[in-house]
Every structure is written in C-alpha cells, then in structure tokens.
Amino acid sequence: MNDRDFQKRLGYSFHRAELLETALTHSSFSNESKGACPEDNERLEFLGDAVFDLLISEYLYEKAAHVEEGVLTRLRAAVVCEASLARCGERLGVGRVLRLGRGEETGGGRARTSILADAMEAVIAAIYLDGGMEAARAFVLSAFGDAVEEAMSGKRLEDYKTELQEKLQALGRVHITYQVEREEGPDHAKVFHVVAMVNGKPVGRGAGKNKKEAEQRAAKAALEG
C-alpha cells in the first residue's frame, strides 16, 4: 500500500504530503537514518492526543446530553485509549505504510499496539494541521463512530477497577489502592506503571499512557490473576 492508497482509506487527501510522511515516521526510523534524519511522529502524536480527546469529548457532550459527567468520562475512556486507536490503525492498514527502523521492523513493530496507536494520533494531528478542525472532526467521527456507539451501548465500557472492587468486597472488607511504581519516557509521551494493592499486597500490574489507563490495566491483571 502506498501513501495515495492510504489516503483513500483515510477518506482524506493531504495538501501538504510532508505532514502525512511525518505522521508515519517512527522514531526508530529517524534514529537509524544517517544524514537527512527525518522528523519522527512524536510531536504530532502529542498534538493528536489532545485533538482526539477534544473531538470525542465534544461528540459525547452533544450526543449524550442528559448523561452525567462521571459516565461521560467512562465513555470517553473506552474510546480514547490505546486499544481503540490501535484497532482503528489496524483496520486502516497503518502498519503497512509506517517507516520503521530495522530493529522495530524485525521485532514485529508493524503490528505492535503502542506503535499503531501512536501513529493514529499522529495521523489525526496531521489531518488537523492540514485541513483544520472540521477535517479532523469528519475523520475522527468516521473512523471511530462505531467505537463510540459500542461504548454508548455498553459493549466497550470496561471498568475493571469497579469490577475488582465489587468482586473483592463480596468476599469481605478489603482496602484497594493503586500506586505508581515508575514513569518512563519524555513528558509528552510518558508511560505510567501502576500496581494494584489489596490490603497492602500487590495483586496486579499495568501500564498506560496516563494513570487512569494504567490503573484499569492493573485491575484487569488482578482479575485475570
């Protein structure tokens, strides 16, 4: 698949092709390139994260006019997450057009969830910079419309923290906490590692792009453990 084919799959034609090229350039490719050192997609990823969050929040605010803030937050979290972005990236064939370094290429980077998700955020930012907010809104609602509808119908509203709390409290009085063990990466692309503790003992660990996502994954690991 070439960039032109990919643009057809996106449903958007770029005026500034260099934005799409940057969005599809992983840092491993830039690090291994000699001389030219093309810009990688990390800055676009930073911007795309904010644009994606805003557009989904705006849509949910308008679509679910009588839903309270806490539920809206859970709905948004079910859509604005690494798994959702990666699924969309896989469906659009992002992995086939990424520019990866040799190490990532041989290590299965084209199918790696985190890489696909980051690339999708970068693509959203590239569309926003190229065509403005309306173009970004049209793409996001087209690409993630099904994910939003699934979340609103309850199919994607996975709240592992609540599930863990209810399961444990049914067995007796427990004290559940979530602690950040460490943070990795630059400020604009941090990964948080969290451990779920029950009565002071670790029961599950998880990582995510924010503390809430990491806590949910830690709770999920505890449920599966």
**Looking up tokens 């049209």, which residue turns up?**
138
Which of 121, 130, 213, 215 does the annotation list as catalytic?
A: 121
**Looking up tokens 């453990």, which residue turns up?**
225
Inter-residue contact 191 to 184 (CB < 8 Å): yes
Q: Examine the residue annotation and report whether 121 is marked as an active-site residue of this protein.
A: yes
Distance between CA 24 and CA 123 in Å, rounded?
Answer: 7
The DSSP bridge partners found for residue 198 are: 176, 201
Tokens of 137: 């809104």
3-state helix, strand, coil in the chain (%, to 5): 65, 10, 25
Q: Examine the residue annotation and report whether 146 is marked as an active-site residue of this protein.
A: no
What is the chain's alpha carbon radius of gyration, rounded to the nearest angstrom?
A: 19
What is the CA angle 145-75-203, rounded to 5? 125
Tell me the DSSP string of 35-64. SS----SHHHHHHHHHHHHHHHHHHHHHHT
Q: Decide the pairing of beta strands 191-198 and 201-208.
A: antiparallel
**Alpha-carbon distances of 163 from 129, 156, 186, 206, rounded to whole Å:** 40, 14, 32, 16
Which of 40, 42, 45, 49 does the annotation list as catalytic?
A: 49
Catalytic site positions: 49, 121
